[in-house]
Amino acid sequence: MRIRKKPWAEKEMQSNKTIIENPREFKGKWKELFGNDNPIHIEIGCGKGNFISEMSKKNPDINYIGIEREEKIIVSALKKSRELGVGENVKFFCEDVAECLEIFEVGEISRIYTNFADPWHRRKKWAKRRLTHKNFLNLYEQLFGENGGTLFMKTDNKVLFEFSLNEIADKGWRLHNISLDLHKSEYQGNVMTEYEKKFSEMGMPIYRLEGYYKCKVED
């Protein structure tokens, strides 16, 4: 498995125990893979992996799965997870999020993170590609199942943020912990992504929200 411009990538993909090569094999069996009944949280577009790796270390009683479409990106997340010394509660795989119902059983996921996703704002017709478009929210509802679940989102893009607020509200989900400038808010426990650190150092505001589908709003 060769990835250009990263001579170490092939070895990382082959030796890193957190990568799942055939995630469809574990549909309905993810808790068996993790070896426990802990909640499963996924990050769609895990980037270089700092966020999900740090979250897995802070919350050993939660299972985390990082999802990316391209190997050239996820290999950096694998490397980061190894360097940070993550435990057995984090896994990664390469797939398109649109295929998630082929990978997870209904009700198998309890939380979804979308951090600094592509805003797809240059053309109006691209709105359907946004990870908070109603079509994706419909998908998330199926992943959450009848027990419900939560969507946590962060972005530096105001257009995407306002779009997301409207889409989530239109679906009847409850919105909570809305922030127009996260790093100047009173929100506690924030774990930064690589993009977030870069943008905040540039003085850019970070937008954040929590969307709750059929479940109690957390404190």
Percent of the chain with pLDDT over 90: 83
pLDDT in tens, 146-172: 999 999 999 999 999 999 999 999 999
Confidence of residue 120 (pLDDT cuts 50, 70, 90): confident
User: What phi-psi label fits residue 128: left (phi over 0), alpha (psi between -120 and 50 degrees) or beta?
Assistant: alpha
What's the Cα-to-Cα distance from 184 to each of 26, 100, 179, 187, 206, rounded to whole Å?
Answer: 41, 35, 9, 9, 9
Confidence of residue 3 (pLDDT cuts 50, 70, 90): very low
Q: Are 209 and 174 in contact (CB under 8 A)?
A: no
Q: Are 80 and 103 in contact (CB under 8 A)?
A: no
What is the average pLDDT score of the chain?
93
pLDDT of residue 219: 59
pLDDT of residue 4: 53
The single residue listed with the structure tokens 């170490």 is: 8
pLDDT of residue 8: 85
pLDDT in tens, 35-56: 999 999 999 999 999 999 999 9
Distance CA 18, CA 21 (A): 10
> In this structure, how many other beta carbons lie within 10 angstroms of the beta carbon of residue 31?
15
**CA contacts within 13 A on the Cβ side of 11:** 5
Of the candidates 118, 170, 181, 219, the residue annotated as catalytic is 118
Could you list the beta-strand ranges (E) of 76-170: 90-94, 111-115, 149-155
Mean pLDDT (whole number) for 24-39: 97
pLDDT in tens, 121-130: 767 777 899 9
Is 219 considered catalytic here? no
Q: Are 79 and 165 in contact (CB under 8 A)?
A: no
Domains along the sequence of the chain with CATH: 9-213 (3.40.50.150)
pLDDT of residue 1: 39
56 three-state secondary structure = helix
Alpha carbon 58 to chain centroid, angstroms: 16
> Residue 145 is which amino acid?
G
Q: Taken in order 184, 185, 191, 194, is the CA torsion positive or negative?
A: negative
pLDDT in tens, 51-95: 999 999 999 999 999 999 988 899 999 999 999 999 999 999 999
